[in-house]
Structure 1
């Protein structure tokens, strides 16, 4: 049996190349953790960077969970943005919705939605549009995407569906003190 050349040659990775590649990875991670590369870029291709960041802020204001990272909200909104790339009506709903949201904020506070630092001010604006199709679409996708995500259930104190496990008896639910 002939030896395979690929396995008999020394790896093409020396100390200098290893250090160069790992420093690039460290810089990238640093940019991500510092916020220079943000999950708000999830929809930038579909609706633009401003709308993308606005929708992410809006998502966090609709379902505010301070302990959840932006990546969970972005993971819910990404399929929406993907669909907006091929669905002109959805793209219009999202872009017009953000534009109208910013317009309302500008009239009330002379700022865009993203520039509003005070959460109660943002909630006031969201309450004014909560019956509209734009808000309802975002809210509906978020509700199913966040609360139907088994990865997040432990963070909410939910153990998942109980019927497959014999119900709730003897599974710790008798110790809930908030009921």
Structure 2
């Protein structure tokens, strides 16, 4: 049976379902596999270089080797989206990345992303840590990472005590050194 272009199928046939679900699974696989890097999520707003630099910076400010990039990107992506609409924020991010690269060039003759050793990157970050750019990134990361209940068990934090009735009967009553 041939359909005209105006007719819409009323049921979702098996082939159509499999075709559409396969596309969705492929998309999820690309994102979760790392082929679409967290830096690429923000690239449309601040550029690829700035996105990658911000991600590296985030991992150096709050270094948790066991955390995947997706947790850092979950904090940086909304910031990049805001920058897409807020020209002052976009300018601050662009100039901040530029200043980071300039300081890195002065100290090591390389851009920040090209520095292989964490200690070198930390030295560059310390040089700009008083800047509004650094403080903005640091503040957003602190709230985004440490206020994420999904990550609390990975840090050994059991959550808010008052919401669970306080500290009594949660292991704290067995502390013998107090």
Whether TM exceeds 0.5 here: the answer is yes
1:36 to partner: Cα distance: 3.3
For the 8 Å contact 1:57–1:114, the answer to whether it is kept is yes
Q: Which residue of 1 aligns with 2:121?
A: 122
Moved segments of 4+, more than 2 Å: 21-33, 172-177
Q: Which residue of 1 aligns with 2:4?
A: none
Q: Which residue of 2 aligns with 1:77?
A: 76
Q: How does 1:18-97 map to 2 (within 5 A)?
A: 22=22, 25=25, 29=29, 33=33, 35-97=34-96
Q: Which residue of 1 aligns with 2:139?
A: 140
Distance 1:176 1:23 in 2: 54
Distance 1:56 1:23 in 2: 28
Distance 2:43 2:99 in 1: 18
Distance 1:89 1:72 in 2: 25
How many pairs does the alignment contain? Answer: 169
Distance 1:23 1:165 in 2: 43
TM-superposition CA deviations, 1:155-178 (whole Å, max 9, x none): 11111111122101111245689x
TM-score by length of 1: 0.82
Q: Which residue of 1 aligns with 2:6?
A: none
| Mean CA deviation greater in 21-30 or 63-72 | 21-30
For the 8 Å contact 1:43–1:52, the answer to whether it is kept is yes
1:38 to partner: Cα distance: 0.7
User: Residue 127 and residue 176 in structure 1: after superposition, are their counterparts in 2 closer, same or farther (change >3 A)?
Assistant: farther
Two-structure CA RMSD over aligned residues (Å): 2.9
**Structure 2 residues without counterparts, runs of 5 or longer:** 1-8
Q: 2:121 aligns to what SS in structure 1?
A: helix
User: Residue 153 and residue 44 in structure 1: after superposition, are their counterparts in 2 closer, same or farther (change >3 A)?
Assistant: same
